[in-house]
Amino acid sequence: MNKKIIYIIGAGRSGTTLLDIILGNNPKLFSAGELNRFPIRNGACPNIGKETAAYKYWEAFKTDFLSHHKDYRLDEINKNLINKYEYHSAILRIIFGSKSSKSRERYVDYLRNFFDTLSEKVDKEIIVDSSKYPCRGYFISQLYKSDISFIYIKRNPVDVSHSFAKKDLEQPPKSWFMTNLYLFCVNHLCNYILYKVKNNSKVVRIKYDSLVADPVQTLTTIQEALNIDLSHSIEIIKNDDYLFPGLLFDGNRLRMKEKIKLEKKDNSKPRKLSFKDKITMLFNSSWWK
């Protein structure tokens, strides 16, 4: 593959899609969205019209990809490979599993062929994958070593807890207890995977709260840490102009908008926390602070 990859890692509802869109508004970066969901969605962009540019792009990619790899069935890849090696339980296979198992070799082969095909179709230097899942990031890092960089984005656990309580979003809601357990486990898993890849890949850690309060400084931090040019999106934000979602395959509802404007939020004012909020902060303090 002749492209580089930026992999956005973090828990759900932590701003991964927003960050992906912001990065994709730079001339050398291709914002791809949650590519892990390509087999899950059978290669079709969900919840957008078939006449949209994103749907047409990924439909053409699917045709090209499957024509070159006729032995692939996306439903089989999803069931036997994605479920086994990308979800959070895959950490047990990373720690204890055999590196020479046939299914693991087939999964890595799928990743290699997927990104090789995408690299041929993308006319930009860097592909942004905001799939979030730490274990997927680990396996991609084993393939591309120094050609993949990681951005770990985390969000105030109280805000994530409140977001998961909402019932009008694409993702199903979670209970307060399950949200806290999820946040604790996933964010510690992120940190473990980043520890595993740090010798080969560049890693930068940011907070969603900083991204929306001071986006210019946060993007400058990413720019310097990963040695990439983000000046175009920085200028867009400075000028209070619109960002364009581009061709994201999957992600949250932001990808369905024609254009978005980043709303800067002041996080400096102290908030009133309920008893549950205080427990949330305490329980997740090990990764948040």
pLDDT tens-place string over residues 112-164? 999 999 999 999 999 999 999 999 999 999 999 999 999 999 999 999 999 99
Distance from C-alpha of 278 to C-alpha of 280, rounded to nearest angstrom: 5
Residues 6+ apart with CB under 8 A from 60: 121
pLDDT at residue 84 is higher than 80: yes
Residues 61-89: what's their mean pLDDT?
96
pLDDT at residue 99 is higher than 90: no
Looking at residue 116, its pLDDT comes to 96
97: confidence class by pLDDT, cuts 50, 70, 90? confident
pLDDT at residue 180 is higher than 70: yes
Residues 242-254: what's their mean pLDDT?
95
Residues 22-29: what's their mean pLDDT?
97
DSSP 3-state of 90: helix
Question: What residue type is assigned to position 182 of the chain?
Answer: Y
Looking at residue 25, its pLDDT comes to 97
The reported pTM is 0.96
* Strand-strand pairing, 126-132 and 29-33: parallel
Q: Please write the tens of the pLDDT for every residue from 250-275.
A: 999 999 999 999 987 776 677 899 99
100: confidence class by pLDDT, cuts 50, 70, 90? confident
Looking at residue 170, its pLDDT comes to 61
Q: Round the average pLDDT of the chain to a whole number and report it.
A: 94
What are the CA-CA distances from residue 13 to residues 144, 164, 219 (Å)?
27, 8, 19
Please answer whether residues 127 and 3 qualify as being in contact, where contact means their C-beta atoms are separated by less than 8 angstroms: yes
Looking at residue 166, its pLDDT comes to 83
Report which of 178, 187, 179 is spatially closest to residue 160, judged by C-alpha positions: 179
